[in-house]
Amino acid sequence: MPTTIQSLKTCKEAGEKFTCLTSYDATFSHIVGSAGVEVILVGDSLGMVLQGHDSTLPVTMDHMIYHTEAVKRGNQGALIMADMPFMSYATPEQALENAALLMQAGAHMVKIEGGDWLCETIRMLSERGIPVCAHLGLTPQSVNKLGGYKVQGRESSQADEIIAHAIAQERAGADIILLECVPSSLATRLTKNISAPVIGIGAGSGTDGQVLVIHDLLGITPGRRPKFVKNFMEESGSIDGAIKAYVDAVKSGDFPADEHSFN
């Protein structure tokens, strides 16, 4: 059965973990879906892992449409979530126009980064039939404002603010919240405070789902490996095996472990 927003909510209600992986083409989408991954993220991370940039900022709508179309062709029943790139949703009207293009390209949901200033946009998209994932914590499109790729929410006031943003976004119509690089305690607290499924990356094991960049999971990303990444190819003899090991580890609670999380 294809994964839907409702089936992810059912997983949360039942206390069952689900998985998400990035994919940018038809071949990997086929492999990822066949391995049992519920959600494929067509991430603007493609700017770094495919295009060689040092951030996601150079990624354009044309890039995202192209890769979403490719992922759609290879998909095997996963829910396809597509990132809206930098400055493609600066106003609600601009967001609506660009989100429509991604949905027409094959996405089932769009993902946008930011706090409660996005509530009007989320409400507009949701009312018009476009599901939304709101991305909080470390938001890579704001890397220049944040001063680098740093853990967010360590101060109690900042943690409270992130939770308040998530609650406001859910009320506005957000279907999923994605938390990146926040302390495990904050992620667990937030997950319990909202009914929408919460996906974590570098957010500990207390979230409803986990996401990784597929190049990180396969151990082929050059440079220093982030703390929250595990190379599943080290214990598997194939790409299929590595992805299935990731799915099994998330569902069993073995990943992420303490060494992949922030205090």
Residue 208 annotated as lining a ligand binding site: no
Contacts of 118 (CB under 8 A, 6+ apart): 89, 112, 134, 169, 172
Compute the CA torsion angle 228, 233, 238, 241 (nearest 10 deg): -50
The dihedrals phi and psi of 80, each to the nearest 5 degrees, come to -95, 120
83 annotated binding-site participant: yes
Residue 44 labeled ligand binder: yes
Helix (H) or strand (E) run with residue 29 in it: helix 26-34
| Tokens of residue 118, six digits | 């996005």
Tell me if 45 is assigned to a ligand binding site.
yes
DSSP 212-246: E-HHHHTT---SPPPTT---GGGG-SSHHHHHHHH
> Are the C-beta atoms of 176 and 199 separated by less than 8 Å?
yes
Query: Is 155 a known active-site residue?
Result: no
> Quick check: 58 and 46 in contact, CB under 8 A?
no
The catalytic position among 16, 38, 69, 180 is 180
How far is it, in rounded angstroms, from Cα 176 to Cα 250?
18
CA 131 to each of CA 20, 69, 205: distance values in angstroms, whole numbers, following the listed order: 16, 18, 25
Q: How far apart are CA 35 and CA 191, in angstroms?
A: 26
Binding region for 3-methyl-2-oxobutanoate: 44-45, 83, 111
Binding region: 44-45, 83, 111, 113
Binding region for Mg(2+): 44, 83, 113
Please give the positions annotated as active site: 180
